[in-house]
Structure 1
Amino acid sequence: MIQESERADVEEEETDNDEERISYLKSFISRMMNASMKEKSRAEVDISVTPEEIRIISNYAAASFASLNTLMRVDESCLPIHVVGDLHGHFNDLRNIFTKHGAPGLSHYVFLGDYVDRGRQGVETVMLLMAYHCLYPEHVFLCRGNHEDYNTTMTYGFYDECHLKYEKKGFLVWLHIINAFNHLPFAALIFGRVLCMHGGISPHIKTLDDIDSIQRPTFIPSFGLACDLVWSDPETTTNVGWSLSARGISFSFDDVTIEKFCQDNGVDLIVRAHQISSEMVTGGHRWHANGRMVTIFSAANYLGMGNDTCVLRIDEQKTVQFSLLRPVKKSRKH
């Protein structure tokens, strides 16, 4: 039997450890948010993250993610809340979003995944998000995207980014982050009526509770519910129902399928990311199915497209608004 004195010692040690963790995270976040831009760069921040910081914060994050349901329930008390789409290593876009809408702790956020790959500062982007989540888990909700995966990051740049920045330690750095990714929840439900995920809906969902059946930690499988939540897409063609996706993985679905899914599951709106098209360049978003689904994208000037950053805001009256940040354009030479 544990004596009262022993229990008090354990509680004091846990308190000390928690205070140390909070201090560590706050110091890390401050350094990341206050770093200046690189010389002669309009997009990159002059900052680096050490392998030890990555190990510590990734382990904190994995433990925190594991404590959450696969479908995170976000209470109405979190309104107003901001929903953010693909970031793809656009670290300064993330900082600009926090500057404009308020830092976590003051403001609430749901992020829809694709934090890494293709952009040059994926490590910095995902580390800041994980640190903020660990410090304010009731303010920052992180969903998994199709790029938060072992196989995808091997192909689209994040694996190479880790090796380029950390050389011999690059593989271990990458593994620490992949381990955290494998614990990420897949979706969020805001006040029971707004469903958020990276990709889209799935024919494997009979009720929203099915999402909680996904066991974590896990890699992203090549088929099934976990695959669809990060890979599926709405289809512009009508009356096709479910069809195999042109991506070669998961499904596409039409407007009728979206509306039926919402009716069957008591959902007013589905917010997802995963796509950027020419019609989204101005405005950063696109509606589907008579306003039942919206796609948002939050990495400005993605692959040189000149597109806006879009953040969806749901206010206390449950009204949806879009907040845009225009990409910085180079001045013309005369």
Structure 2
Amino acid sequence: MSEIETNIVDQEEETDDETARIDYLIGFVGRLLAAPLKKKGKKETPVVDVKITTDDIRILTMYASLSFKNQSSLLKIDEESLPIHIVGDLHGQFHDLRLLFSRCGHPSQTNYIFLGDYVDRGLQGIETSCLLMALQCLYPKNIFMVRGNHEDYNTTLTYGFYDECLMKYAKYGEIVWLSIISAFNHLPFAALIFGRILCMHGGISPNLKSLADIDKIVRPTMIPAYGLACDLVWSDPENTQNPGFSLSSRGISFSFDDSAIQDFCQKNGLDLIIRAHQISSDMYRGGHKFHAGGNMVTIFSAPNYLNMGNDSCVVRVEKSKLVRFIVFRPTISK
């Protein structure tokens, strides 16, 4: 066989593989979006009745790892991607994620940035993270995912995701958990929208001198105990007596005051920082909270989180570059 004929055969095989990959992802996404709610007697529960196999996990995590690996640690999203929706913590509330899509738009036609904490505490972290990874692979120009502090080996051991994997997959549970954590280790850490809006899960860092520092984070990586990669998923805004940065009351990373936020935005030409990571009593109505005179906003996108009765919200950045909030009121079962 000549070199030209060999190249033609290789191209045909690559085309076949890509077609099979897309067909699989379309089928998987369709199955998860169409699955009914489980019933308890005659009453629907907030749990979606769908089964993800260990083969699904193996295939999806392989696809997702490759897709994340091809992205920068700092995602750069241009004006052509507007309007775009920014989504905060979901914590395994899979039914609420589907309601979010039904209100804000199907991911095939609507752009989203997800700011992490896809798993832990909620009942369907596997379904939530797998659907988002499948969507990101299927629509890489529409769906962007960044890492939260719960997309981590150590955190998921404590807050429920590891136990969820064992409960649903028994003797294969640990393999499922490790496969998903391995994909998480490839996730980007932040997103920059048209050079003026910075999005991450946690917050800024004394180790973050310029936005280029984020791109220097080498992946795949576990979340370290300290340093920039740690702070981007763990740090918090907090009004303290100490100006600038202080050690966090969480016992990891830092907290920072309004002056640190304003100084960082000014030095890096930013209008706004959008972050997630927190839900406080003053966010129960509206699902969001402003800091530093509007230079930063915290959002939370899991309504009725742990039965708190809280609102949730999504930020929408319009083509005009104006920002608005889409608020979701909780559905509380009686």
Where in structure 2 are the equivalents of 1:70-89 lying within 5 Å? 70-89=73-92
Q: Which residue of 1 aligns with 2:190?
A: 187
Alignment partner of 1:322 is 2:325: yes
1:199 and 1:272 in contact (8 A); partners too: yes
| Equivalent position amino acid for 2:89 in 1 | D
Corresponding residue SS for 1:180: helix
TM-superposed CA distance for 1:42, in Å, is 3.6
Q: Which residue of 2 aligns with 1:68?
A: 71
Q: Give per-residue Cα distances to partners, 1:265-300, cap 9 Å, x unaligned.
A: 111100000000011111000000000000000011
Q: Which residue of 2 aligns with 1:160?
A: 163
For residues 33 and 8 of structure 2, the distance between their equivalents in structure 1, rounded to whole angstroms, comes to 37
TM-superposed CA distance for 1:329, in Å, is 2.4
Q: Which residue of 2 aligns with 1:273?
A: 276
Q: Which residue of 1 aligns with 2:18?
A: 18
RMSD: 1.1
Q: Give per-residue Cα distances to partners, 1:197-234, cap 9 Å, x unaligned.
A: 00000111111000011110000000000000000000
For residues 179 and 5 of structure 2, the distance between their equivalents in structure 1, rounded to whole angstroms, comes to 37
1:238 and 1:256 in contact (8 A); partners too: no
2:288 and 2:312 in contact (8 A); partners too: no
| Equivalent position amino acid for 2:219 in 1 | R
Q: Which residue of 2 aligns with 1:6?
A: 6
TM-superposed CA distance for 1:4, in Å, is 1.0
1:239 and 1:256 in contact (8 A); partners too: no
TM-superposed CA distance for 1:89, in Å, is 0.2
For residues 144 and 304 of structure 2, the distance between their equivalents in structure 1, rounded to whole angstroms, comes to 25
TM-superposed CA distance for 1:141, in Å, is 0.5
Q: Which residue of 1 aligns with 2:309?
A: 306
Q: Which moved more, 1:42-51 or 1:211-220?
A: 42-51
TM-superposed CA distance for 1:330, in Å, is 2.9
Q: Which residue of 1 aligns with 2:35?
A: 35
For residues 2 and 150 of structure 2, the distance between their equivalents in structure 1, rounded to whole angstroms, comes to 47
TM-superposed CA distance for 1:185, in Å, is 0.4
Which residue of 149, 153, 173 corresponds with 1:150?
153
Q: Which residue of 1 aligns with 2:128?
A: 125
Corresponding residue SS for 2:37: coil
Distance 1:63 1:259, change over 3 A: same
For residues 89 and 2 of structure 1, the distance between their equivalents in structure 2, rounded to whole angstroms, comes to 53
Corresponding residue SS for 2:178: helix
Q: Which moved more, 1:40-49 or 1:154-163?
A: 40-49
Q: Which residue of 2 aligns with 1:176?
A: 179
Aligned residues: 331
Q: Which residue of 2 aligns with 1:108?
A: 111
For residues 205 and 240 of structure 1, the distance between their equivalents in structure 2, rounded to whole angstroms, comes to 17
For residues 82 and 2 of structure 1, the distance between their equivalents in structure 2, rounded to whole angstroms, comes to 50
For residues 2 and 261 of structure 1, the distance between their equivalents in structure 2, rounded to whole angstroms, comes to 59
TM-score by length of 2: 0.97
Which residue of 284, 288, 293 corresponds with 2:291?
288
Percentage of pairs with the same residue: 61
For residues 74 and 35 of structure 1, the distance between their equivalents in structure 2, rounded to whole angstroms, comes to 32
Alignment partner of 1:216 is 2:219: yes
For residues 91 and 101 of structure 1, the distance between their equivalents in structure 2, rounded to whole angstroms, comes to 15
TM-superposed CA distance for 1:24, in Å, is 0.3
For residues 287 and 241 of structure 2, the distance between their equivalents in structure 1, rounded to whole angstroms, comes to 23
Q: Give per-residue Cα distances to partners, 1:130-166, cap 9 Å, x unaligned.
A: 0000000111100000000000000100000000000
TM-score by length of 1: 0.97
TM-superposed CA distance for 1:239, in Å, is 5.1
| Equivalent position amino acid for 1:105 in 2 | S
* Structure 2 segments unaligned to the other structure (5+ residues): none
Q: Give per-residue Cα distances to partners, 1:299-324, cap 9 Å, x unaligned.
A: 11001111112000000000110001
| Equivalent position amino acid for 2:282 in 1 | E
For residues 9 and 205 of structure 2, the distance between their equivalents in structure 1, rounded to whole angstroms, comes to 50
| Equivalent position amino acid for 1:22 in 2 | I
For residues 330 and 53 of structure 1, the distance between their equivalents in structure 2, rounded to whole angstroms, comes to 32
Which residue of 44, 57, 64 corresponds with 2:47?
44
TM-superposed CA distance for 1:2, in Å, is 7.0
TM-superposed CA distance for 1:104, in Å, is 1.3
For residues 231 and 113 of structure 1, the distance between their equivalents in structure 2, rounded to whole angstroms, comes to 11
Which residue of 249, 253, 269 corresponds with 1:250?
253
For residues 93 and 61 of structure 2, the distance between their equivalents in structure 1, rounded to whole angstroms, comes to 19
